[in-house]
Amino acid sequence: MDDGDNSIPSLVDAAATGDEQAWHEIVDRYTPLLGSVIHCFRLTKAETQDVAQTVWLRLVEHLGRLREPRALPMWIITTSRRESLRCLSDRRRTVPYDPLDPSWPIFPTDDAEPDAELLRADRHEALLAGLAELPARQRELLLLLVADPPLSYAEITERTGIPTGSIGPTRRRALDRLRQTFAVRDYLAGPLAAPVAPGRTACLAPSRPAIRIDRERGEGHDAAPLG
C-alpha cells in the first residue's frame, strides 16, 4: 500500500530504476484497466492470461520510455488491444475457414460508426485509468463502495479505519479527485482534445470490431508503440 501521494510518473521512474515495490503498485493500479481492455475481446481464460503476461513483460522493458502521466494507460490500452487481436488472429490460423460458421471472426476495415459497445469500452477505460491515478486510500474506498455484494459503512470502517461519519465526505472528495484525473478530464474533453492512441478503434469482439492499425502514428511514439 502506498502512502497516498505516489504519482504515476514517480512510480514509473522508480520502477524503471529497480524499485520492485513501485512496480507492484503499478500492477495493482492498472490491472483493472488491462482486464477491461482484454474483456472486450471475449478471450478464453488461457488467452486472457497469455495477453496479460505478454503486456506486463513488455511494459517492464518500456518503463524507461514512459514519462508523462498519460503515456502509461495509453500504452497499456494499445498494447493489450494488439495482443488480444493477435490472439484472435492465431485462432484464425489454426481453425479452418467455414463460411457458414457465424462465430468466424470478421474484421471490417472501414471505420465503423462508434456503436454503443465501443463507447462503453471507452468510458470504462477512462474511469479505470482515472481510478489508477488516485491515491491508495481513495482508490481503496471507491473499490469498497462498489463491492459486490455491497458492504455496509460499518464494514468499510472496519476495513479502512475511516470513521463512519467521514465516509460520505471522503467519498465525495475521492469522486472529485477522480473527475480531476488526466484520464477522466481527457475523456470529458472529447476525442478532439484527447491524445489519440494508435489503434484506438481497434477494439471489441469478433462480431463487431473496426480494425485500423495506424502505423504512421504508431511509429516513433514511445507513448504507444506497436506492441
Partner 1 sequence: MTQHRWDDDQDLLDDLSEALRDAELPSTIAECGKGAYAWRTVDQDLLLASLSLDSSLEHMAERRSAGGEGRVLVFTASPLSLELEVMPDHVAGQILPPGPGKVRVETLDGVTFYVDADDAGFFYIPRKPAGPARLRCDTPAGRLVTDWIYL
- Give the footprint of partner 1 on this chain (CB under 8 A): 15, 18, 20, 23-24, 27-28, 31-36, 38-39, 45, 48-50, 52-54, 56-62, 82-83, 85-86, 88-90, 92-93, 97, 106-109, 120, 123-124, 127-128, 131, 142-143, 145-146, 148, 171-172, 175, 178-179, 184, 188, 211, 213, 215, 218-219, 225-227
**12 or 131: whose CB is closer to partner 1?**
131
Q: How far is the CB of 109 from partner 1 (least distance, A)?
A: 4
Please name the residue ranges forming H helices in 17-146. 20-39, 45-62, 71-94, 116-133, 136-145
- The three-point CA angle 25-156-127 to 5° equals 50
**61 or 113: whose CB is closer to partner 1?**
61
- One-letter amino acid at 187 equals Y
Q: How far is the CB of 161 from partner 1 (least distance, A)?
A: 21
What is d(CA 184, CA 126) in angstroms, rounded to the nearest whole number? 5
Q: How far is the CB of 157 from partner 1 (least distance, A)?
A: 18
What is d(CA 27, CA 6) in angstroms, rounded to the nearest whole number? 14
**4 or 108: whose CB is closer to partner 1?**
108
**3 or 20: whose CB is closer to partner 1?**
20
Q: How far is the CB of 127 from partner 1 (least distance, A)?
A: 5
Cell of 149: 455484494
Tallying the residues shown for the chain, one arrives at 227
Cell of 135: 491515491
What is d(CA 227, CA 221) in angstroms, rounded to the nearest whole number? 12
**35 or 163: whose CB is closer to partner 1?**
35
Contact between 77 and 19 under an 8 Å Cβ cutoff? The reply is no
